[in-house]
Each structure stands twice: as C-alpha cells, then as structure tokens.
Structure 1
Amino acid sequence: MPVEKLAPGVWGVLATPLTEDGSAVDTASLTRQVEHYGRIGATGLTALGVFGEAARLTPEERSTVVSTVAAAAGDLPMVIGLSSLDAEGACAEAENVLGVLDRSPAGLMVQVGSPDPDAVVAQANTVAERTGQGIVVQDYPVVSGVSIATDDLVAAVRRIPSAVAVKSESSPSPPAVATLAAGLDVPVFGGLGGTGLLDELAVGSAGAMTGFSVPEGLIACVTAFRDGGYAAAREVWRDYLPLVNFEFQAGIALSLRKHSFVHRGLLATPAVRPPSKLAPESMLGLLREHLRHTPHALQVPS
C-alpha cells in the first residue's frame, strides 16, 4: 500500500471545544480554531488526539469533530487519532470517523499498545490493512500506560510499511527522538506541549505535533530552526517557554490551555470533561500574566 510520509513542520493538535455544561461539542469554536491554524501557516492538523479529549467523546461526537474539522480545513491535511490500544477497537474507531470524510486523511494515529515490538507491528499493520490508511505511531506512555524501549520501537516501525510518521512522547523526549530519528526513514515529531521542542529539533525531529494555546510560537521556532539553526530557534523560542511550561501542569494542563484559547477568542468556554480537572482560580491570574508577555497571545483572530 503506497503511503506518503507526513511533511515536516507543525501539526496542530486540536482541542475539542465543549458547550458550557460540557454536554456537547461546540462546532462553532472548533471551526474558529481550525481556521486560525490555517491562517498562521500550520503544516497540518491532528483531530481526536489526547489534547482533543478523544477518549471522553462518544462515537457520534468523534464523527462530529472529524466532519467539522474536514469542512473547515480546506487543503490542510489532517491526522485522526485513535484512542483504543487494541487493533479491533482502533479499527472500529477508524471505521466510525472515516465514513464522514470525502477524502483520505494524512494518517491514522495509533497508540503503542504493548511493550512487545511484535505486538506493536501486528496492531499497526492490522489497522492499516483494514482501513487502507497510513499510520502515525504514537508513543505516549503516561497516557497509554505502556512503556516500550526506544530501540524496540525503532525495530517495530521498520516493520510497518504503512508508517508515515512517529509521534514520540516518551520522557525524556530528546534522547528518544534522537534514537528514533537516527534509526528510521519516517519523520519523527515531538509532542508534550512543546516542552522539549528546541532540543528535539536539535537531535533530528521533523517538528511538533502537539497542543499549545499559542501555536504561532511552535511555527516560529520550527521555521527559525529550518532557516537559521539552533541559535536562531533558541532566540525565538525563549519568549514562549514560560507559557509552555506553565500550561504543561499535570492534571490541569488541558483546562489551562482551554482558558488560554478563550482569552484568545478561539473558544467560547473552557469546559473539560472528567477526569480532567478544572484549573483553580489561583492559576487564572497567573495565566493572564503569562499571556500578556507571550508574543501573539493576545491577538484576537479575525
């Protein structure tokens, strides 16, 4: 099955906006978010990722998210995340969302579901064969509960002909990205909210596939690295790092980012679904202060 590797750059992982009571997907806010990524020059989009609360959405809501993103994305390519850690569950998720598309996605993102490389190969190849789509292999042990040795992941991905990229979110991320980038001929993208972005670029990553409330910063850093190397990217990225670090707080990271999007005019409400926690009121003033000092953060989308 011929597949096209993902282009280097920034693949924005979309938040799933919810209505104020959290009971439904806010499609108007989702459309604004997608259009904003298009305006700022994102390489592509990722729907139904961890940042998109995909595991907490019903099948009908996942279809709504995918159809809304596809309608607003124009020519921007889209990766679709699958939450299930087993092949059968992932295939069922894929069938549900692919049915609402009139074009193929750039890839289906499959989470590593076993520390055994043979099982990872079987899982990814089953999804690829059943759906006819390229596969983004996602290694995110904090979320999946599965830890695979990086060398074993390299060996597994080499045996997945449909692999179009790897999303590496195993901490510490720079050493993992370095090993993956050196051992594979598919692009490797960092995640983790951009916390390791600069060093991941330095050791061979193709860019970022992550959620951050000021994705302009991700794009500026990746562009600066491409054009001017490490020193240029470091100069650009340092102005965004305080907000990157502030947002990436365990348990409340999603809530903080959604509050940021509300301040930016991209989301109507910061609602999240359990088990995500609401950011405490004590953090919201600090968030506004970080936004005040972050380039682009207070620019309201037109």
Structure 2
Amino acid sequence: MISAETRGVFAIAPTPFLPDGALDMASLGRMTERYVGCGVDGLTILGIMGEAHKLEPEESLSVVREVIAHAGGLPVVVGISAPGFAAMRRLSAAAMEMGAAGVMMTPPPSMRTDDQIAGWFAQAVAQIGSDVPFVLQDHPTATGVVMSNAVIRRVVAENPSCVMLKHEDWPGLDKISAIRNWQERGEMRALSILCGNGALFLDMEMRRGADGAMTGYAFAEMLRRVVDLAAQDRDAAQDLFDAHLPLLRYEHQPGIGLAVRKHILAQRGFIAHPDLRAPGAALNPAARAEVDYLLARLKARDRGCGL
C-alpha cells in the first residue's frame, strides 16, 4: 500500500489502443514491464493521460488487471475520478481487490469553495471506504478546481486515508514549501508529495521538499535519475534536467501533449501504436519531424536516456 512515507518515481502510464480504437492488451503488458525496467518505484494508471474518461467500465477493469499482473509487485495507483460516486466506488473496490496500492481522485469542476471541496472528499471517502489509501490530485489547470493550501491541509486532517498529494498546481512551488513548513512546525501530519505537470518543474520541486515524481514524461529514466541526484548533487541533477528541457517543453503543449508522448513511447517500443482513442489529437508530419529532431538532440546530450 502507498503511505505518507512513499517516495520516488511513479510513472503515469498511458492506455495503449489499436488503430481502430480497441484496447491494445498486448502493449499493456509490455509497457508495464518496460516501465519496471526503467527503475520506477510504482505506476499510476487511468488518469488524464490514461484517457480514462474514454473507457467503458469493463475496459478500465481490464487495464487494472493487466497492469497489476505485469508490475512485478510494484505498487499501482488507480485513478478513480468520475462525475458520480457509484462509478468511483465500483472501480475502487475492484482495483483494491485486484491488488492496487491505492487510488487517486480529484473533485469535479463544479466544486469551487473550500467547504465544497472538503465536503466532496469526505463523501468520496465514505463511499470508497476509509481503509483505502488515496492520493489527492491537485491539478487546477486540467480540472478547474482550485485548491488553497488551507483546504489541502483540511482534507488531510479530516481524512486519515489521504496519504499523498499529487502536486500539479502551476505556479505551485510555494504550495510545497507551505506544506513542509506546516509539517516542520507540527501543524500538519506527514504527507507524501509526488509532483506532476509533466516534470516541467521537477528540478525545483525536489529542492522545495517534494518526495519524487508522479508524471508521464516519456523518459522515466530521467525522472529516476533526477530524483536520485537531487539530494546528492544539485548541479548534476540540473544538468540532466536541462538536457531534457526542450523535449519536456514540447511535450507539455495543450492539445497535442499526449499525442507527443505516445509517439515517443511507440518509437521506444513501449507501445505498438501511438493512437489516441477518438476524439483525440494526432501529430501531423511537421510535428513528428520536430519531435524526432528533439529526440536526436537528446540522444547526443544524454547517452543514458534510453534511446
């Protein structure tokens, strides 16, 4: 199970599809094993990057089952966010029965005030069970839900099963500092903080006190090395991060970012096809050429990148 002591790198995995939109079950197993080979500490599935909102309920269960079967015992966190609690309750229960290490959830866009947000989490926990460890996903640029530092502390205090913050606020470095300062003063209990945002700020997030990364950048090897180096050799971590920054920037484009990631993962052999399930963006020839150019430059600058 994940806990407040969980640290390291959790790769957020996409959901591979065949060109006709069907689930690519063969790629699911291979992709999971490749992530394990990159040295990650765990995997996160069925998030935004996993196109979870495009899956039928039984497809979601198939993804959970296949990934856990190939994860080699590494913890797997399952995204369960949905408009209603019935779907969340069913997926959470099934995932935990299959061996998931916890679930991840975030309120729907209609939640605006601190009381609404805190109330939603209390209701969600009542539905999935207070024995299920969960990750609080704070991703306002994607969800439209703005969580103040105070409401995050409140949710953590009111729900002992909240063991991790997936930090994706932007700008959000001061949020990490505020939480760590509260903890140092004994004003907030322990909480794991793993960061997303495509790793675009991972170098600085580690300096602010993050415990690692939970994101989908196409080179989990870089995430592993930056997280490990951050506490030992800041300049070495920064040099490695800088080598990947042009590709990180390109991959972070709204609209086509997931298509870029899937293109790279297909190039690397993690998945057989780069397709998104409709509706979804696809890279045109010019964009593919730009990504390939950046990959060639990355290979020259970081020989350990996995290319």
If the length of structure 1 is used for normalisation, what is the TM-score? 0.90
Could you tell me which runs of 5 or more consecutive residues in structure 1 were left unpaired when the two chains were aligned.
none
SS in 2 for 1:244: helix
**Post-superposition CA distance 1:131-176 (Å, at most 9, x none):** 3310100011222222222332222222221011001112113223
Residue correspondences, number = 293
Q: Distance in 1 between matches of 2:35 and 2:2?
A: 25
Q: In the alignment, is the contact (CA less than 8 A) between 2:222 and 2:305 conserved in 1?
A: no
Deviation of 1:227 (Å): 2.5
Q: Which residue, out of 120, 124, 127, partners 1:123?
A: 120
**Post-superposition CA distance 1:222-241 (Å, at most 9, x none):** 0110322x323212211111
Could you tell me which runs of 5 or more consecutive residues in structure 2 were left unpaired when the two chains were aligned.
183-187
Q: In the alignment, is the contact (CA less than 8 A) between 2:3 and 2:192 conserved in 1?
A: no
SS in 2 for 1:290: helix
* Change over 3 Å in CA distance of 1:146–1:30 after alignment to 2: same
Look up the match of 1:227: 232
Look up the match of 2:107: 112
Alignment of 1:13-28 (within 5 A): 13-22=12-21, 24-28=22-26
Which deviates the most, 123-132 or 154-163?
123-132
If the length of structure 2 is used for normalisation, what is the TM-score? 0.88
Alignment of 1:1-302 (within 5 A): 4-5=3-4, 7-22=6-21, 24-99=22-97, 101=98, 103=99, 105-113=100-108, 114-129=111-126, 130-131=128-129, 132-183=131-182, 184=188, 185-228=190-233, 230-294=234-298, 295=302, 296-297=304-305, 299=307
Which deviates the most, 288-297 or 43-52?
288-297
After the TM superposition, which segments of 4 or more aligned residues of structure 1 sit over 4 Å from their partners? Answer: none
Structure of greater relative contact order (alpha carbons < 8 Å, 6+ residues apart)? 2
* Change over 3 Å in CA distance of 1:33–1:212 after alignment to 2: same
Counterpart AA for 1:110: M
SS in 1 for 2:137: strand
SS in 1 for 2:286: helix
Amino-acid identity (%): 30
Deviation of 1:28 (Å): 1.3
* Change over 3 Å in CA distance of 1:265–1:3 after alignment to 2: closer
